[in-house]
Amino acid sequence: MSKKYHVAVVGASGVVGRKVIQVLEERQFPVSELSLFASSRSAGQKIPFNGEEITIQELTEDALTAPIQIAIFSAGGETSKHFAPIASSNGITVIDNSSAWRMDKHIPLVVPEVNAGVLSKDDKLIANPNCSTIQSVVPLKPLQENYGIKRVVYSTYQAVSGAGRKGIEDLEQGTTSTFPYEINKTVIPQIDVFLDNGNTKEEQKMIDETRKILGVENLPVSATAVRVPIKTSHGVSINIELEKEFDIKKIREEIGNIDGVILADNPGTLEYPLQSVAEDTDNVYVGRIRRDESVENGINLFVVADNLRKGAATNSVQIAESLIARGII
């Protein structure tokens, strides 16, 4: 009989937390027992899992102890900063969805298809990258390995669910509780707050996280992050300058062979990545693969994935699966 694990989900009542629970069930993760935690406001709610009703408990410092073995956090940065170290010091392997630990040089930032090899038995706290970064670095990995990457330029088309339940409400109700303008009437070239260098925090996340995941500290990366009026799944246009000459057919083949990638790239039949197709799947859809003839060794891609699944919940569960497969836990 295969080993099973006592898993906790912190932030279980939120949009991503609920998706984590759904993904654990769908992927038949080996759960012996599931504990759910959230704030006192959500304690007592029940969430279905594997035919049972699991009651959400209030998150306290005493809650995150053995026999819990794996804890997936989706409760925001402040909660993670306080509770993740407590859990990890108690021997629990923490996989954190917030931005709290991503750029800590001692904490691995992991997309399993790209850099699962950085995981080790010493890692009790692992960071899950930003949603747009996750889907973007998946097709970048073979390009980096086979041709070398000289520069990356991102332009994103990000769904409102990236801002949580209130973002969805703004789209559906025409309100501005989360966004500065009515998102159901426009696109907004701002995600998160502006920094001193003119980038938004979201743009800077993509820049910094891409460098860390690909292991190239000074890689030239630029990003423009835009919120668009759709509920789920992010699109990212990626322009890449490669170090070496390439054959476009070979690149298409290499990207199509990545585990978890669906190649949607046939202009003749109007086949390209669509956010409506990616919704509620774990795949990364890649298409519009073509040369950028304005620069030497340039290439363009369009990448789409469900931001709540591959961009958050599924990637977290896949990290846990990688830890098990590698004999780390």
Q: Is 162 marked within a binding site?
A: yes
- CATH label of the domain that carries residue 107: 3.40.50.720
Q: Are residues 72 and 110 in the same domain?
A: yes
CA 196 → CA 219, 227, 255, distances in Å?
21, 21, 36
Q: Are residues 102 and 247 in the same domain?
A: no
Dihedral of the alpha carbons of 236, 11, 97, 166, in degrees to the nearest 10: 30
DSSP string, 83-125: HHHHHHHTTPEEEE-SSSSTT-TTS-B--HHHHGGG--TT-SE
Return d(Cα 10, Cα 27) in angstroms, integer: 19
Q: What is the pLDDT of residue 102?
A: 97
Bridge-based pairing of strands 298-305 and 284-292 is antiparallel
Q: Are residues 293 and 254 in the same domain?
A: yes
Rounded average pLDDT over 139-162: 97
Return d(Cα 140, Cα 323) in angstroms, integer: 23
Q: Are residues 63 and 106 in the same domain?
A: yes
Q: Is 291 marked within a binding site?
A: no
Q: Judge whether residue 128 has pLDDT over 70.
A: yes
Instruction: Kindly give, in sequence order, each residue whose CB lies less than 8 Å from that of residue 60, ignoring residues fewer than 6 positions away.
Output: none
Q: Are residues 157 and 233 in the same domain?
A: yes
Q: Is 227 marked within a binding site?
A: yes
Q: Are residues 104 and 183 in the same domain?
A: no
In the structure, what pLDDT confidence band is assigned to residue 1 with cuts at 50, 70 and 90? very low
Q: Are residues 159 and 48 in the same domain?
A: no
Dihedral of the alpha carbons of 96, 97, 98, 101, in degrees to the nearest 10: 40
Q: What range defines the domain where residue 62 resides?
A: 5-129+312-325
Q: Judge whether residue 181 has pLDDT over 70.
A: yes
Q: Are residues 180 and 257 in the same domain?
A: yes
Domains held by the chain: number:
2
Q: Is 31 marked within a binding site?
A: no
- CATH label of the domain that carries residue 175: 3.30.360.10
Which residues are marked as active site? Answer: 131, 234
Q: Are residues 142 and 285 in the same domain?
A: yes
Q: What is the pLDDT of residue 2?
A: 79
Q: Are residues 111 and 142 in the same domain?
A: no
Q: What is the mean pLDDT of the chain?
A: 96
- pLDDT tens for 242-295 read 999 999 999 999 999 999 999 999 999 999 999 999 999 999 999 999 999 999
Q: Are residues 142 and 31 in the same domain?
A: no
Give the count of beta carbons closer than 10 Å to the beta carbon of residue 24: 23
Q: What is the pLDDT of residue 178?
A: 95
Q: Are residues 13 and 157 in the same domain?
A: no
Give the count of beta carbons closer than 10 Å to the beta carbon of residue 117: 11
Q: Is 261 marked within a binding site?
A: no
Q: Which range (1-5, 202-206, 324-328) has the least confidence?
A: 1-5
